[in-house]
C-alpha cells in the first residue's frame, strides 16, 4: 500500500458507512440529487459515495461527471487535498491517556483479535497496540473486499485538480474523529474489533450485498442490508450520522449561496427523516433525484 495514512482516511470514512444504518429514499433510484430553490441562483448537487469499492465495481455515471463539471467548487466530508490532513490524521490515530488494547479489552477478546490479525491479516497487532480500535478495524477492509480498491473521494479530488476547482471539507478531521471517539475506546474495541471477528464470514456477505445494491443505486435496499447487521449501534448511528448531518446542513446553506457546489458525502448521510436531504427540504430547498443529463 503506497500511502497507509491516506488509505486509513478513506477506509475510516468507509467504516462510518459500513458500521452504521443507512436510510432509504422512497423515490426514483439515484445517488445524485439536485438542490435548488429557496433563493439559489444556480442549483448545487450532492452525490452519495461508498468510500471504498473494488476497482471492477467502481462506476461514475456520465450525469455525475457532467454535474461535477458544472459546479464551481467541490466539497467532500473533509478537505482531502489539504496538505495538513495527513498530520491531523496521525495526531488522532492513537488512543488517549496511554490506553492500549490490552488495557481496554478482556484477555480472551484480545487473544481472539490478535490471533485473527495474525492468521487472516498477517499482521502482529502487538506492534499497533496503542492505535484506536476503529483504525485497526480499517486494516481488515482489503481482506474483506478481496480485490484492488478504488475510492470515490480520490477520483473526485483528481477530477477537481484537472478542472482547476477548489476542494474543501464540510468538517474538520478533528470533528470526524470526535464523532467516532465519542463512544469511548472500550465500545470501539467491542463493536469494531470483537464483533468484526465474531461475524467475519457474515460481514463479508453483507458487504458483498451492500456493494451490489450500491451499484443499483438502491438506497432502500442498502437500508435493508445494514439494518440487521450485528455491528449496528443506535448511539453510534446518532453521533456518526444524525449529529453530523445537522452540523453540515447550515454550512451547506452558506456554501451554496456563495457558489454552485458539488458535494460528495457517504450515501448513509443522504436518507431518512434526519438525513441531509430531508434536512435541506425542511430549510425550503427543492430536492430531486438526477438520473440523466
Residue pair 242/233 in contact by the 8 Å Cβ criterion: no
Q: pLDDT tens-digit profile of 94-107?
A: 999 999 999 999 99
> Would residue 114 be called left, alpha or beta, if left means φ above 0 and alpha means ψ between -120 and 50 degrees?
alpha
**Residues sharing a CB contact under 8 Å with residue 205, sequence separation 6 or more, in sequence order:** none
Residue pair 290/63 in contact by the 8 Å Cβ criterion: yes
What pLDDT, on a 0 to 100 scale, did the predictor assign at position 29? 86
**Residues sharing a CB contact under 8 Å with residue 145, sequence separation 6 or more, in sequence order:** 52, 53, 54, 207
* Claim: this prediction has a pTM higher than 0.85: yes
Largest CA distance in the chain: 60
Per-residue pLDDT averaged across 143-164, rounded?
A: 94
Q: pLDDT tens-digit profile of 10-40?
A: 444 444 444 433 333 345 789 999 999 999 9
What 3-state class would DSSP assign to 90? helix
pLDDT at 235 over 80: no
What pLDDT, on a 0 to 100 scale, did the predictor assign at position 169? 97
pLDDT at 165 over 90: yes
Amino acid at each position: 500500500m503506497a500511502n497507509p495514512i491516506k488509505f486509513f482516511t478513506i477506509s475510516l470514512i468507509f467504516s462510518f458507512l459500513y458500521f452504521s444504518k443507512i436510510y432509504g429514499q422512497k423515490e426514483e433510484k439515484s445517488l445524485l440529487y439536485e438542490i435548488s430553490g429557496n433563493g439559489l441562483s444556480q442549483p448545487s448537487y450532492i452525490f452519495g459515495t461508498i468510500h471504498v469499492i473494488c476497482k471492477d465495481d467502481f462506476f461514475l455515471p456520465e450525469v455525475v461527471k457532467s454535474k461535477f463539471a458544472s459546479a464551481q467548487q467541490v466539497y467532500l466530508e473533509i478537505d482531502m487535498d489539504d496538505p495538513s490532513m495527513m498530520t491531523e490524521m496521525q495526531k488522532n490515530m492513537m488512543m488517549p491517556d496511554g490506553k492500549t488494547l490490552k488495557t481496554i479489552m478482556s484477555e480472551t477478546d484480545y487473544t481472539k483479535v490478535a490471533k485473527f490479525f495474525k492468521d487472516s491479516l498477517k499482521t502482529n497487532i502487538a506492534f499497533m497496540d496503542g492505535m484506536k480500535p476503529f483504525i485497526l478495524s480499517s486494516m481488515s477492509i482489503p481482506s474483506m473486499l478481496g480485490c484492488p480498491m478504488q475510492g470515490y473521494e480520490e477520483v473526485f479530488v483528481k477530477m477537481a485538480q484537472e478542472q482547476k476547482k477548489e476542494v474543501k471539507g464540510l468538517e474538520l478531521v478533528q470533528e470526524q474523529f470526535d464523532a467516532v471517539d465519542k463512544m469511548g475506546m472500550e465500545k470501539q474495541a467491542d463493536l469494531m474489533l470483537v464483533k468484526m471477528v465474531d461475524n467475519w464470514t457474515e460481514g463479508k456477505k453483507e458487504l458483498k450485498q451492500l456493494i451490489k445494491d450500491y451499484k443499483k443505486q438502491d438506497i432502500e435496499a442498502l437500508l435493508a442490508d445494514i439494518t440487521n447487521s450485528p455491528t449496528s449501534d443506535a448511539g453510534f448511528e446518532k453521533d456518526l450520522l444524525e449529529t453530523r448531518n445537522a452540523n453540515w446542513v447550515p454550512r451547506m446553506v452558506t456554501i451554496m449561496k456563495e457558489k454552485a457546489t458539488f458535494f460528495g458525502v457517504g450515501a448513509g448521510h443522504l436518507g431518512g427523516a434526519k438525513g441531509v436531504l430531508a434536512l435541506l427540504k425542511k430549510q425550503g430547498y427543492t430536492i430531486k433525484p438526477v438520473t440523466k443529463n
